[in-house]
Every structure is written in C-alpha cells, then in structure tokens.
Amino acid sequence: MEKKTKTPRVEINTSEITKAVQEAVFSCYGIVGFADKASIARVDNKTKKGIKEDAIFITKHSNNTFEADVYLLVSQEVKLTETLVSAQMTIKYNLDRKFSKKCRAVNVYAENVSSK
C-alpha cells in the first residue's frame, strides 16, 4: 500500500510577485511606467484590500492563490485597449509560469495617458 504524503505548502511572498509584475510590465510596448499613489486614490475611491506596493496591489486568498491589480501609465502614441490587453496577457503569463498557475487574475488599469 502506498503511503500518501502531503506536499509542503510554500507561502508565496508578495515582494516576489511584485518583482515579477515589474519585470513583465517593463517588457511591454507602450507602457511608460506605473501610476503614483495619489492618482490611484483619485481613480479608485474604494479601499483596496491586500498588500500595496506602489501601483501594484496583491490580494492573497486562503488557498495560496492571489490576484494582482496593476495601475499603469500608457504612452499617447499607442492604442490604449491593445496595449492594456497585451500588458495583461504578458503579466498573467509570467506570473503563471513563475508561480505554477497560482495567479487567479490580473487586472490592469490605465490611470493616465502620458507622452514619452
């Protein structure tokens, strides 16, 4: 009879998630940077739950999964929807690859359109 052993549960560190999101965002075309905290407060009036690292909000769930909300600055020279969809897909792909599909969702928001 085979003995079943539980695999140890590894806790995901939010700073690792934040670093992976930053790496993914800076590889995206048309993204100028991250939104600042004051402007995020104007855009999103509700209180964000989770851990806040500048414009990246990580919400952890009980089953060791997480969601990421990312507030970005986008260049004026690009199509907004295509740029945000591309950034969302890139971030989700990188998080799934790095954290073994523990990422439930990635939400991206364009806080401000800026020129380079």
Mean pLDDT of 73-85: 90
Shortest CA distance to 72 belongs to which of 60, 88, 59, 58? 88
The backbone torsions φ and ψ at residue 114, rounded to the nearest 5 degrees and listed phi first, read -130, 155
Residues in a beta bridge with 103? 66
| Integer Cα distance of 16 and 81 in angstroms | 27
Q: How confident is the model at residue 43 (pLDDT cuts 50, 70, 90)?
A: low
pLDDT given for residue 8 in this prediction? 54
The predicted structure's pLDDT at residue 93:
95
Alpha carbons 91 and 23: distance in angstroms, whole number = 9
Indicate if the pLDDT at residue 87 is higher than 90: yes
User: Is the confidence at residue 53, as pLDDT, over 90?
Assistant: no
Domain segments of the chain as ranges? 14-114
Check: pTM over 0.85? Answer yes or no.
no
Phi, psi values for residue 44, rounded to 5°: -115, 95
CATH of 14-114, picked from 3.30.300.30, 3.30.420.40, 3.30.70.1350, 3.40.50.720, is 3.30.70.1350
Structure token digits, residue 26? 């800076």
